[in-house]
Chains A and B, each alone.
Chain A
Amino acid sequence: DTEVTQTPKHLVMGMTNKKSLKCEQHMGHRAMYWYKQKAKKPPELMFVYSYEKLSINESVPSRFSPECPNSSLLNLHLHALQPEDSALYLCASSHPGRGIYGYTFGSGTRLTVV
Chain B
Amino acid sequence: GIQVEQSPPDLILQEGANSTLRCNFSDSVNNLQWFHQNPWGQLINLFYIPSGTKQNGRLSATTVATERYSLLYISSSQTTDSGVYFCAVGKGETSGSRLTFGEGTQLTVNP
Contact = CB atoms under 8 A, between A and B. Distances in A.
Given A42-B86, A97-B94, A107-B41, A102 B33 contact: yes
Interface string A66-89: 000000000000000000000010
Given A42-B104, A45-B98, A100 B50 contact: yes
B37 to A, nearest CB: 9
Contact of B31 (A51, A100, A110): A100
Contact of A42 (B42, B97, B103): B103
B96 A50 contact: yes
A45 B86 CA distance: 14
Interface in B19-77: 30-31, 33, 35, 40-45, 47-48, 50
B43 A96 contact: no
Interface residues of A, number: 34
B100 to A, nearest CB: 8
A100 B45 contact: no
Contact of A100 (B40, B44, B94): B94
A49 B43 contact: no
A90 B86 CA distance: 15
Contacts of A96: 95
Interface of B: 30-31, 33, 35, 40-45, 47-48, 50, 86, 90, 92-104
